[in-house]
């Protein structure tokens, strides 16, 4: 897979190293000469150019990219890059970094953004995850649909404890996509049983999130009457 990354700062370089380690081809673009640190990611291709200009993107052959990632520290630049990559060069998948939460509402398909990644939101979600068990934590919102990526740590008192994955009827359009157990991520096996403390990752629409929480919550918690 060929990936073009706009922004060769710490974030862009970190993403590049991760992608390269997984066998992908990466091009890093930055208009700041001091950001062109080829020795830091020698396996990547580098281009000193403005990732918000059509001429630069043509030179970068963005039309041959499978994914375009806007990872600069400037939300305006990330939006413009995503829009050009999607509308002018037909990149199948665009991912944009959101630096300031107040701008998050702009990062949608109107600006050519398929996936928006907000660092403050993710950090907040991880903090919340670290102090709660049994509560649903929304990790990512998919702009092209109403579905969200959510995480729930299965309580040891959950009625789903020990049940096989295939026997659990998830609400609505819910899909269990991964189980993190003992620090290792694994795909859910239909005949595999859930264990207390499992971190369960689901893709589910917002309208069914409450039902999912109730399904996995301990019975005394789920059935607690409202005051």
31 and 97 co-located in one domain = yes
110 and 178 co-located in one domain = no
pLDDT, tens only, 85-114: 999 999 999 999 998 888 989 999 999 999
Domain hosting 13: range is: 2-117
Angstrom distance (rounded) from CA 184 to CA 203: 19
62 and 145 co-located in one domain = no
Residue 132 near residue 154, CB atoms below 8 Å: no
User: What CATH number has the domain bearing residue 10?
Assistant: 3.40.50.720
Buried-exposed string 72-89: b where 16+ CB fall within 10 A, e elsewhere: bebbebbbbbbbbbbeeb
**pTM exceeding 0.85:** no
pLDDT, tens only, 57-89: 999 999 999 999 999 999 999 999 999 999 999
In a domain, 124, yes or no: no
Counting the structural domains of the chain, the total is 2
């Amino acid at each position: 897979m060929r990936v073009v990354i706009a922004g060769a700062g710490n974030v862009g370089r970190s993403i590049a190293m991760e992608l390269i380690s997984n066998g992908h081809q990466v091009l890093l673009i930055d208009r700041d000469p001091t950001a062109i640190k080829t020795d830091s990611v020698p396996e990547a291709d580098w281009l000193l150019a403005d990732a918000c200009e059509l001429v630069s993107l043509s030179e970068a052959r963005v039309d041959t990219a499978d994914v375009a990632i806007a990872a600069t520290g400037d939300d305006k630049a990330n939006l413009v890059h995503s829009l050009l990559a999607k509308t002018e060069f037909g990149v199948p998948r665009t991912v944009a970094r959101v630096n300031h939460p107040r701008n998050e509402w702009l990062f949608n398909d109107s600006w050519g953004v398929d996936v928006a990644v907000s660092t403050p939101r993710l950090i907040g979600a991880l903090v919340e995850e670290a102090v709660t068990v049994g509560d649903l934590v929304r990790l990512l919102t998919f702009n092209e649909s109403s579905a969200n990526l959510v995480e729930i740590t299965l309580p040891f008192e959950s009625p789903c404890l020990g049940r096989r994955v295939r026997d659990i009827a998830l609400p609505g359009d819910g899909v269990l996509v991964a189980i993190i157990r003992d620090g290792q991520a694994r795909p859910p096996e239909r005949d595999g049983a859930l264990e207390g403390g499992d971190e369960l990752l689901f893709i589910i629409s917002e309208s069914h999130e409450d039902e999912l929480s109730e399904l996995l919550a301990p019975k005394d918690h789920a059935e607690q009457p409202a005051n």
